[in-house]
Amino acid sequence: MSIPIKTPAEIEKMRAAGRAAAIVLDRLAKLVEPGITTGEIDRSAAEYMAELGCKSAFLGYRKFPGQTCISVNEQVVHGIGGERRLAYGDIVKIDTGVVLDGWIGDTATTVCCGAVDPETERLCTATKRILEGAIPFAEAGRRLGDLSNYIETEALRQGLGVVREFVGHGVGRKLHEEPQIPNYGRKGSGPKLKAGMTLAIEPMINLGVEGVRILEDGWTVVTLDGKPSAHFEHTILVTENEPEVLTCLPPIA
């Protein structure tokens, strides 16, 4: 396994791409309200990317037809924007990848469309906190399996299902680089992390069973039991000190 190590100049490019992805995702999340279609959100993504001088990392990737992935309720990931109108109580997963100057930023969030039921709210809160808790494991000298094991352990402790068929990944010039980053694993296993690696960590956690299937469109992943799923993602830089979140909003001047 060859995991790319970014140079200081390349890391600056990754920071810029990560900030652009974060800005686009933040704007898209603010559009979520009852009545808007997933297609309208997707078209807005193209506009926001153009304003920032970047383009979608997803559109055309293995023939994917959308600017972003927009997945609702029991849809886990890879949903395609279309005519579906969001309803009060939906949860919406928006996964945004952008290419800026040849480098990719990849980030995702789950947004509640109005108030949601308590169990779904618990799922969303838990998944976000699991991502936040996993990030500190992305430090030089640790094994990747430590990070994966933390995600799995925390999810199972809370009675949630961990999606196994889809995983996080390295990211850089390519959308999917080595290593693969499962949301499950054994402590002390996997490659040793080194400064300069850039990782897309993305827990995909189900309220019910862990099993999923792909719909007839060839892309949209849904839970087997029809219960909701949550998804959060950040692109992380491994450093000699604390990990750096590359897909965070720039500070307000």
> Cα(243)–Cα(35) distance, rounded to whole angstroms?
39
Buried b (16+ CB within 10 A) or exposed e, 174-208: ebbbebebbbbbeeeebeebebbbbbbbbbbbbbb
CA distance 237 to 68: 23
The helix/strand/coil state of 29 is helix
Give the pLDDT of residue 153. 98
Using one digit for the tens of pLDDT, what is the confidence trace for 135-169? 999 999 999 999 999 999 999 999 999 999 999 99
Domain ranges of the chain: 8-243
Residue 57 CA to residue 46 CA, distance in Å, equals 11
Residues 6+ apart with CB under 8 A from 218: none
pLDDT digits (tens, 9 = 90+) for 186-218: 999 999 999 999 999 999 999 999 999 999 999
Taking 50 as the pLDDT cut, the residues of the chain under it are none
pLDDT number for residue 253: 60
pTM exceeds 0.85 for this model: yes
Predicted local distance difference test score (pLDDT) of residue 71: 98
CA 101 – CA 44 distance, rounded (Å): 21
Q: What is the pLDDT of residue 32?
A: 98
Which CATH architecture is the domain 8-243 placed in?
Alpha-Beta Complex (3.90)
Q: Looking at residue 49, what is its pLDDT?
A: 98
Distance CA(210)–CA(18), nearest Å, equals 30
